[in-house]
Amino acid sequence: SYVLTQPPSVSVAPGKTATFTCGGNNIRTKSVHWYQQNPGQAPVLVISYDVDRPSGIPERFSGSNSGNTATLTITRVEAGDEADYYCQVWDSSGDHPVFGGGTKLTVL
């Protein structure tokens, strides 16, 4: 099964930029999706297909994908952005989605 690796935590001051990485073997060949999950709530899709923002997601959220690393970037971080962030791809060999371990964002 395809493996996605995320750092467990990221800390950033309000107003600064938060960067989340998602590592996978030749991940550039896959479409990467990102979800935000607040405590006790369901995940919310914030970036799909590497770079697309679903309706209602602020422009502060952006994504990229190159080589063995996909990246989610949040600019002008706010206290309300504090949450867990998960990346996800489709494992074509197993025909199912695969999630990374998630990264917890702490806003200092």
> Which one of residues 5, 23, 45, 69 is an interface residue with other proteins (CB under 8 A)?
45
According to the binding rule CB under 8 A, does residue 23 interact with other proteins?
Answer: no
Contact 105, 78 (CB under 8 A): no
According to the binding rule CB under 8 A, does residue 100 interact with other proteins?
Answer: yes
Residue type, 51: V
Measured at the CA of 89, the angle between CA 5 and CA 103, to 5 degrees, comes to 40
Q: H/E element holding 99?
A: strand 96-99
Residue type, 79: A
According to the binding rule CB under 8 A, does residue 24 interact with other proteins?
Answer: no
Using the rule CB under 8 A, give the single segment among 9-17, 18-26, 65-73, 98-106 that binds other proteins: 98-106
Measured at the CA of 88, the angle between CA 11 and CA 106, to 5 degrees, comes to 15
Residue 13 vs 53, nearer CB to other proteins:
53
According to the binding rule CB under 8 A, does residue 38 interact with other proteins?
Answer: no
Residues at the contact surface with other proteins, assessed by CB under 8 A:
31, 33, 35, 37, 41-45, 48-49, 54, 86, 88-90, 95-102
